Structure 1
Amino acid sequence: MTATTPITPTRNTLSGMDIENNPIDSQEKSRRWQLILGKDDSDDAIALSSQDQRLADALNALYDCGTSGEGRQAGLGRSAPKVSKWLGDIRQFFPSSVVQVIQKDAFERLGLKQMLMEPEFLNAMQADVHLVADLISLRSVMPEKTISTARQVVQKVVDELMQRLEKRTQEAIRGSINKGKRTYRPRFNDIDWHKTIHANLRHYQADFNTIVPEKLVGYLRQQRRLTDLDEVILCVDQSGSMASSVVYSSIFAAVMASIPSIKTKLVCFDTAIIDLTDELADPVQVLFGVQLGGGTDINQAIAYCEKKIEQPSKTHLILISDLYEGGDEKQLVARVSQLIRQGVNVISLLALSDDGRPSYDDNMAQKFANIGSPVFACTPDQFPDLMATALKREDVLAWAANQDIKTVCGD
């Protein structure tokens, strides 16, 4: 079943017509009945595909499923992993308008509101980017008191991520190591340990089997000139499958916005566009401005970003999307190709997350690679170095190879 198949989430109707009011065949009608009514152990039950089974399980977790005349109550219980998986599934299988209805029913039927309101439950949950994505997705059906609780959880995760990523990102972007120059007051990460040990051999402490360095030797960082500002535009797909990437992108956008040597913009999109650049001083506010779910119109988003570009040769457009385009594919490729010819550094990240190899549109990824946009997925720990490489206009594909990152190769 696609995201637009007209099966209502309350499972109380069945149409014999498709979305365009055309008759449907008997097998498809049987399939829809089975999805509506739940598990069917009869001999004439059709076998569901793995995707249909996931869809059925997602609905069974929320709605009553009567079998053999006996009612059965399903539910998510009080397990945070189950809640997270279920929310991800419904965002994948249904359009945003239906997701809103299902989530509202979940608050009433499964007591999600009570779960989120209980400090004991929230403390027991693993507060991570997935939980943040779930809370943001549910905020439109939360009462004000629950939103306040959700903000506290989101703030906690944001603070932890900022502590983990902020310093490294700022150092990577603000300056690059110049190994042709030495300094005797290096930062810890810039210490040349071989030279430092050699220069301090006379301070060897035999009793402790170690050297106490009197002088540190390291590399001098080359600072970027404030008059030579680069612009970074993070163009982020906020459809349901990109939830954790949206969270990380928002954090990095906020960090980069605090660096005076670059100008940072954050644009999130599905079939609509929301420019969150003015909110970057408050990462939590940025996240609560995101609208997770919905379709995808990448072409429209790139067209919006194109209008924001002032100096193509100093602009880095980071498109973070699985490249499943719901808009004009041909125009999208032509638009990105034109930006690259103008000198814009266009990098396509299939994901910015710790979730492993993402699902993405192979055909569109190949087209992007063919026109000269590097295409690969990236972890949050790798992103600062990626941005440093991009800002220096170095070979991003060579950097990815050194990181053992699998890229989409052009023809």
Structure 2
Amino acid sequence: MSTLDERGRRWRLLLGADAEEGLGEGLGAGDAGIDQALTVLYDRPDADSTGSGRTGRRSGGLGGSAPAVARWLGDIRTYFPSTVVQVMQRDAVDRLGLHRMLLEPELLSAVEPDVHLASTLLSLNRVMPETTRATARKVVGDVVAAIEKRIAQHTRSAVSGALDRASRTRRPRPSDIDWGATIAANLTRYLPEHRTVVPERLVGHTRRRQALEREVVLAIDQSGSMAASVVYAAVFGAVLATIRSLRTSLVVFDTAVVDLSDRLDDPVDLLFGTQLGGGTDINQAVAYCASRVTKPRDTLFVLVTDLFEGGNEEEMLRRIATLHAAGVQVLVLLALSDDGAPVSDKENAAALAALGIPVFACTPDAFPDLLAVALRRGDVAGWVEGYRAARR
């Protein structure tokens, strides 16, 4: 039997073996392994919606065998690029029930680390045997290192630059003059005959105070739907904690509130201190975070949650409004991840937006620029509007 052209080959791999009769030709020998890997994951028997028990055409699957899962994970890394592998791994967790098998070290060593796998491992943290814990920490550590490499330099640069600009003054003391910025601002006043610049205005910085200049409080909803946001927020918190002019606090919450600020020097340890899943009491978390605020007008409060409140909804909105009215810069992120905006409570979002509080989902790559605008008390609403327009 002759083999398919490239277009037919792709349709055959997409549709499965039942498509061969319609296409009239079969896959080449080199595609057999790819077809089998896809069959295992996507051609599982399923009961129909009527409950009759009628099943699909294949009985593929990995069953309960961890070695078979490890071989399959190795196969897909051979056949597909890492971005596709990560999607297939997420599908395998959902479709093949791999949560329990991910507790086995030999299986973890075969997976492609990504933020979703890290989230799954963190959700299994409380039931993870000691034999697996070291491997799981390594996988999560690899994910954290990759995220930190991606966002750390941009975050430090954007935030430090924002704090630097916020401290600028046009009436500096002689010892506080920024001569490079002053010369650049007065180049039109250059006198060739004297080969010098006559400064019309000076640029410098207010004298650095020994006290911290800004406070950042990150409050992260650790319910299951926010798992990726927890991972990203932990890394951002760890990076912000290295900036000396900031005091950074990181709080996670479900129906309880846990302050993990003392673990910001080790984001992997911080993440293993979370417990993904469970209910949500945003009001209690906001109350705790409010108690951390010592300088309202110098504080940025970032609340990452889908706004589905299991506690006192009216009091939650009232507490956030009180913080906002006191001068705290409040941002509500429905997600801090690459997955787009999740399902969220639209009524609570609208109520906060009516107070002038930005409510939207933000990608990790954009978050440093948002932080910079907020910390220098810039036009956050304008930034958000531009961000949304660019994402459409």
TM-score (norm 1): 0.64
Query: Match for 2:102: what amino acid?
Result: L
Aligned to 2:102: 112
What CA distance in whole angstroms lies between the structure 2 residues aligned with 1:306 and 1:406?
33
Give the % identical residues. 43
The 8 Å contact of residues 88 and 241 in structure 1, kept in 2 or not, is answered as no
Where does 1:94-133 land on structure 2 (aligned, <5 Å)? 107=100, 111-114=101-104, 116-118=105-107, 121-122=110-111, 125=112, 127-133=113-119
What CA distance in whole angstroms lies between the structure 1 residues aligned with 2:51 and 2:314?
39
Give the one of 134, 137, 148 matched to 1:148.
Answer: 134
Where does 1:361-376 land on structure 2 (aligned, <5 Å)? 361-376=345-360
Deviations 1:45-79 (A, max 9, x none): 379xxxxxxxxxxxxxxxxxx779xxx89667555
Give the one of 159, 175, 180 matched to 2:161.
Answer: 175
Structure 2: 5+ residue stretches without partners: 1-45, 64-68, 74-85, 171-176, 188-202
What is the CA-CA distance between 1:88 and the residue it aligns to?
A: 6.9
Richer in helix (by share): 2
Query: Match for 1:39: what amino acid?
Result: A
The 8 Å contact of residues 225 and 261 in structure 1, kept in 2 or not, is answered as no
The 8 Å contact of residues 218 and 237 in structure 2, kept in 1 or not, is answered as yes
Aligned to 1:387: 371
CA distance change for structure 1 residues 264 and 142 in 2, over 3 Å: closer, same or farther?
Answer: same
What is the CA-CA distance between 1:121 and the residue it aligns to?
A: 1.2
Deviations 1:15-37 (A, max 9, x none): xxxxxxxxxxxxxxxxxxxxxxx
What is the CA-CA distance between 1:257 and the residue it aligns to?
A: 0.6
Query: Match for 2:110: what amino acid?
Result: F
Deviations 1:250-277 (A, max 9, x none): 0000000111001000000011111100
1:285 matched to 2:291 = no
Deviations 1:97-130 (A, max 9, x none): xxxxx98xx52xxx3333x4346513xx2x2211
What CA distance in whole angstroms lies between the structure 2 residues aligned with 1:248 and 1:282?
14
CA distance change for structure 1 residues 135 and 241 in 2, over 3 Å: closer, same or farther?
Answer: same
What CA distance in whole angstroms lies between the structure 2 residues aligned with 1:133 and 1:119?
14
Where does 1:283-362 land on structure 2 (aligned, <5 Å)? 283-362=267-346
What is the CA-CA distance between 1:167 and the residue it aligns to?
A: 1.3
**Which structure would you say has the larger Rg?**
2
The 8 Å contact of residues 353 and 380 in structure 1, kept in 2 or not, is answered as yes
Where does 1:42-61 land on structure 2 (aligned, <5 Å)? 45=50
What is the CA-CA distance between 1:141 and the residue it aligns to?
A: 1.8
The 8 Å contact of residues 178 and 204 in structure 2, kept in 1 or not, is answered as no
SS at match of 1:299: helix
What CA distance in whole angstroms lies between the structure 1 residues aligned with 2:263 and 2:94?
26
CA distance change for structure 1 residues 266 and 88 in 2, over 3 Å: closer, same or farther?
Answer: farther
Moved more, 73-82 or 396-405: 73-82
Q: Pairwise CA RMSD of aligned residues? A: 3.4
CA distance change for structure 1 residues 182 and 260 in 2, over 3 Å: closer, same or farther?
Answer: closer
TM-score (norm 2): 0.67
The 8 Å contact of residues 254 and 281 in structure 1, kept in 2 or not, is answered as yes
What CA distance in whole angstroms lies between the structure 1 residues aligned with 2:141 and 2:358?
33
SS at match of 2:319: helix
What CA distance in whole angstroms lies between the structure 1 residues aligned with 2:204 and 2:243?
16
What is the CA-CA distance between 1:381 and the residue it aligns to?
A: 0.8
The 8 Å contact of residues 282 and 316 in structure 2, kept in 1 or not, is answered as yes
**For this pair of structures, how many residues does the alignment match?**
297
Deviations 1:331-368 (A, max 9, x none): 11111111111111111011111112322111110011
Aligned to 2:38: none
Structure 1: 5+ residue stretches without partners: 1-37, 48-65, 91-101, 186-190, 196-219
What is the CA-CA distance between 1:165 and the residue it aligns to?
A: 1.2
